[in-house]
């Protein structure tokens, strides 16, 4: 058998896992600051949890779910997303007694999509959800957390926040009827893929990347024409708050999202640096979803971001964690080496040693890794019981007693 990984899956190691862990750490810190509680759901659920809420006609349900029959004939699905499992968990664990419930979670999702750059069949998502608040402040809070996290992790990337409001469920039904009629009149000019969606899922035609479809969609009715008064006020308030926070956004009335449960506010953070998989983070309101799943009639809003897509955009700066390299002249100095390693670990200083008693090789590895410092352990050093610490950025070197190393490194960093 030829050993290989399954198409669309990938092993995470080396720089990628360092970036991955960095993202998780920043997200967890942000989540805790805003009082989101972590919740992990199982990797698989009963299939029926997904089919209706995500939309029987959505791509995820029609083509992308990994479903299988258990030995006792239960139909199970590897979770393609986290919002529906988290609502299931909130209902089955009686977490909805005290509202609003603020939840975050991080973990793998599964979709059988065509693999390409930034698109996997197993990928990791960060998720934030607020259940039980229809206050516009929850929209603002979630969007600003997303904005802060992305700005912090990706300070040099051009990321655009796209914003739209899909109106109430009733507004959406009216809009979909108008769209079906509009596209049906022009069906001969639409791509085959879009033609198939006229009756089942006309919203998705607005999302098509086919040039002709885009031209036709540009003159299609806009959802804004169908907004109720309540939605108009909510949407305007949201935009006002974002403006006052200095969060830039672009209104995009063709932004519909790929899952059926959305209404009212929807948003996506996009970049041009990822090729066609240009959405880093997406979310919106899903009022009615909790009720559909058997819970109380409360609203909800949330977002998810792909960890792989964020990692792909992260610069190498986030990886400099081998702060100090060690260079050891000969095996005779093992006791000194062990002392230094022990000391560095106790003082939370990252170190790297290449297990070679060879100064030249250790120096070249330190340069290759862009390390800031190197500690030299050789004849002179061991005789005087001091260590030479060289700053590789400016070539300055000093002789230090072991317990002076930490202060020196911190001063110089
Ligand atoms: P989504 O737009 O389907 O939304 O996915 C959110 C993010 O997950 C995407 O923006 C992307 O970064 C990442 N992602 C999705 N599919 C893949 C893939 N095949 N490979 C790599 N990354 C991917 C949701 O899942 C909603 N549950 C978000 C949400 C939460 N809405 C409300 N609350």
Mean pLDDT of 303-326: 82
Q: Which residues contact 337 (CB under 8 A, 6 or more apart)?
A: 326, 328, 353, 377
Return the pLDDT at 55. Answer: 86
Q: Half-sphere exposure of residue 341, counting CA atoms within 13 Å on the CB side?
A: 13
Q: Which residues contact 377 (CB under 8 A, 6 or more apart)?
A: 326, 327, 328, 329, 333, 336, 337, 340, 387
- pLDDT of 211 strictly over 70: yes
Mean pLDDT of 243-256: 94
Name all residues whose Cβ lies below 6 A of ligand 1. Answer: 81-83, 111, 113, 119-120, 123, 125, 127, 129, 258, 279-284, 286, 302-306, 308-309
Quick: pLDDT tens for 65-101. Answer: 999 999 999 999 999 999 999 999 999 999 999 999 9
11-26: b or e for each residue (b if 16 or more CB lie within 10 Å)?
eeeeebebbbebbeeb
Contact 328, 377 (CB under 8 A): yes
204 alpha carbon to ligand 1 midpoint, in Å?
16
Examine residue 388 and say whether the peptide bond preceding it is cis (omega within 30 degrees of 0): no
Quick: pLDDT tens for 129-140. Answer: 999 999 999 999
The CA dihedral of 59, 63, 64, 68, to the nearest 10 degrees, is 140
- pLDDT of 213 strictly over 90: yes
Mean pLDDT of 112-119: 94
- pLDDT of 394 strictly over 80: yes
Quick: pLDDT tens for 340-366. Answer: 999 988 888 888 998 999 999 999 999
- Listing DSSP states for 58-109 in one string gives SHIIIII--EEE-TT--EEEE-S-SHHHHHHHHHHTTGGGSSSEEEEEEEEE
Return the pLDDT at 303. Answer: 98
Reduced to 3 DSSP states, what percent helix, strand and coil does the chain have, rounded to the nearest 5? 45, 20, 35
pLDDT > 70: percent of the chain: 98
309 alpha carbon to ligand 1 midpoint, in Å?
10
**Residue 371 CB: number of other CB atoms within 10 A?**
22
Mean pLDDT of 152-168: 94
Angle of the 136-153 helix axis to the 229-245 helix axis, nearest 10? 40
**How far apart are alpha carbons 361 and 349 in whole angstroms?**
22
126 alpha carbon to ligand 1 midpoint, in Å?
9
132 alpha carbon to ligand 1 midpoint, in Å?
22
Return the pLDDT at 322. Answer: 57
Alpha-carbon distances of 55 from 167, 176, 207, 297, 307, rounded to whole Å:
18, 14, 16, 19, 25
- pLDDT of 395 strictly over 70: yes
Return the pLDDT at 58. Answer: 84
Return the pLDDT at 411. Answer: 83
Return the pLDDT at 212. Answer: 92
- pLDDT of 174 strictly over 90: yes
- pLDDT of 318 strictly over 70: no
Q: Which atom of ligand 1 is nearest to the CA of 111?
A: 19
- pLDDT of 109 strictly over 80: yes
- pLDDT of 316 strictly over 70: no
- Say how many Å lie between the first and final Cα of the chain, rounded: 51
How high does pLDDT run on average in the chain? 93
Return the pLDDT at 385. Answer: 81
Quick: pLDDT tens for 13-46. Answer: 988 998 999 999 999 999 999 999 999 999 999 9
Alpha-carbon distances of 173 from 168, 177, 207, rounded to whole Å:
9, 6, 18
194-198, 232-236, 310-314, 398-402 — which one is most confidently predicted on average? 232-236
245 alpha carbon to ligand 1 midpoint, in Å?
26
β-strand partners of 99: none
């Amino acid at each position: 058998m030829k050993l290989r990984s399954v198409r669309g899956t990938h092993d995470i190691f080396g720089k990628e896992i360092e970036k991955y862990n960095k993202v998780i750490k920043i997200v967890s810190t942000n989540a805790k600051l805003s009082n989101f509680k972590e919740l992990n759901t199982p990797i698989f659920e009963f299939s029926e949890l997904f089919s209706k809420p995500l939309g029987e006609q959505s791509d995820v349900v029609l083509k992308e779910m990994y479903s299988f029959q258990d030995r006792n004939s239960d139909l199970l699905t590897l979770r393609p997303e986290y919002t529906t499992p988290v609502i299931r968990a909130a209902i089955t664990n009686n977490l909805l007694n005290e509202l609003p419930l603020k939840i975050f979670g991080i973990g793998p999702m599964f979709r059988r999509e065509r693999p390409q750059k930034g698109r996997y069949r197993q990928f990791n998502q960060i998720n934030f959800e607020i259940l039980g608040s229809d206050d516009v402040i929850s929209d603002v809070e979630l969007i600003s957390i997303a904005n802060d996290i992305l700005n912090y992790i990706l300070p040099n990337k051009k990321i655009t926040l796209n914003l739209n409001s899909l109106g109430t469920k009733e507004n959406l039904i009216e809009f979909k009827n108008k769209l079906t009629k509009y596209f049906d009149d022009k069906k001969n000019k639409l791509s085959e893929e879009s033609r198939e969606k006229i009756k089942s899922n006309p919203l998705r035609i607005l999302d098509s990347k086919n040039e002709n479809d885009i031209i036709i969609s540009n003159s299609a009715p806009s959802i804004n024409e169908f907004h109720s008064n309540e939605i108009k006020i909510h949407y305007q308030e949201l935009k006002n708050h974002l403006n006052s926070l200095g969060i830039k956004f672009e209104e995009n009335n063709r932004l519909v999202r790929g899952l059926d449960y959305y209404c009212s506010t929807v948003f996506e953070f996009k970049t041009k640096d990822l090729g066609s998989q240009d959405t880093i983070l997406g979310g919106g309101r899903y009022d009615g979803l909790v009720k559909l799943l058997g819970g109380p009639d409360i609203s909800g809003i949330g977002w998810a971001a792909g960890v792989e897509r964020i990692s792909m955009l992260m610069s190498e700066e986030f990886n400099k964690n081998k702060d100090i390299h060690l260079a050891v002249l000969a095996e005779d100095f093992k006791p000194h080496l062990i002392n230094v390693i022990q000391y560095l670990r106790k003082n939370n200083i990252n170190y790297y040693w290449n297990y070679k008693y060879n100064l030249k090789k250790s120096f070249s590895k330190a340069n290759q890794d862009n390390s800031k410092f190197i500690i030299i352990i050789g004849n002179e050093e061991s005789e005087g019981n001091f260590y030479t610490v060289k700053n590789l950025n400016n070539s300055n070197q000093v002789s230090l007693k072991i317990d002076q190393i930490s202060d020196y490194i911190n001063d110089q960093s």
